Amino acid sequence: MFVRVMSREECQGVVAAGDLARLACCRDDQPYIVPITYAHSGNRLYCFSMPGQKIDWMRSNPKVSLQIAEFASNRVVVTGRYQELPATQGCHHERIHAWSLLEKKPNWWEPGGLKPVPQEISGASAHIFFCVEMDEMTGRAACAGEL
Ligand SMILES: Cc1cc2nc3c(=O)[nH]c(=O)nc-3n(C[C@H](O)[C@H](O)[C@H](O)COP(=O)(O)OP(=O)(O)OC[C@H]3O[C@@H](n4cnc5c(N)ncnc54)[C@H](O)[C@@H]3O)c2cc1C
């Protein structure tokens, strides 16, 4: 087996075809990583979440990294910046765009919308849409045989 560097086009193909990433964020020198569903559009990855640790941490430090895999043999690592899409007039179209892409994914909201402990009932839903603006993308693939 050998490992080769994937081209930018290959990396873009993996990111565009995928819908599940491992999202890593960091606060006070402590990394935190969770699986998350995403939808790709242009240079952005759109996600849905409820408030919680990762949102708190990304608000305080927007630098994030995501790992996306198409097969067990390849991995793409994306670095980028968290950007929240608040329910304001200025973000309305992008929120609808994010929603329309995410709703095509299977089980797109349940894992992010549900918590293991009962939540307080409130009048307004606290759901959050955000995107990761991609700055850099690298990929490596494991191949059978020898170099
Ligand atoms: C296939 C899949 C798809 C998912 N898609 C989404 C999505 O689109 N959006 C989304 O918001 N979430 C998604 N999740 C759930 C996500 O991985 C987190 O569990 C969830 O978002 C809660 O994260 P939080 O930081 O708000 O945790 P909080 O509810 O604030 O809880 C923080 C505490 O719980 C622990 N914790 C949190 N999540 C996990 C976990 N998954 N495993 C073990 N310990 C955990 C932390 O270590 C910490 O101690 C998905 C999960 C899976 C398996």
What is the residue with the minimal CA distance to atom 29 of ligand 1?
52
pLDDT digits (tens, 9 = 90+) for 40-96: 999 999 999 999 999 999 999 999 999 998 777 889 999 999 999 999 999 999 999
Pocket test for ligand 1, best of 36, 45, 61, 99 (most atoms within 8 A of CB): 36
Domain extent, residue 26, equals 2-112+125-143
What is the residue with the minimal CA distance to atom 20 of ligand 1?
112
Residue 83, domain CATH: 2.30.110.10
pLDDT digits (tens, 9 = 90+) for 115-146: 777 666 665 668 999 999 999 999 999 998 88
Element (H, E) at 131: strand 128-143
Residue 79 lies in a domain: yes
Please answer whether residues 21 and 131 qualify as being in contact, where contact means their C-beta atoms are separated by less than 8 angstroms: no
The total of structural domains in the chain comes to: 1
Q: Which amino acid is at 65?
A: S
pLDDT of residue 146: 80
For residues 143 and 7, give the distance between their C-alpha atoms in angstroms, rounded to a whole number: 14
Q: Which ligand 1 atom is the nearest neighbour of the CA of 54? A: 25
Q: Is the CB of 48 under 6 A from ligand 1?
A: yes
Q: Which ligand 1 atom is the nearest neighbour of the CA of 23? A: 17
pLDDT of residue 124: 63
Residue 118 lies in a domain: no
pLDDT of residue 3: 93
Residue 117 lies in a domain: no
Residue 119 lies in a domain: no
Confidence of residue 106 (pLDDT cuts 50, 70, 90): confident
Please answer whether residues 141 and 6 qualify as being in contact, where contact means their C-beta atoms are separated by less than 8 angstroms: yes
Check pLDDT > 80 for residue 31: yes
* DSSP type of residue 98: H
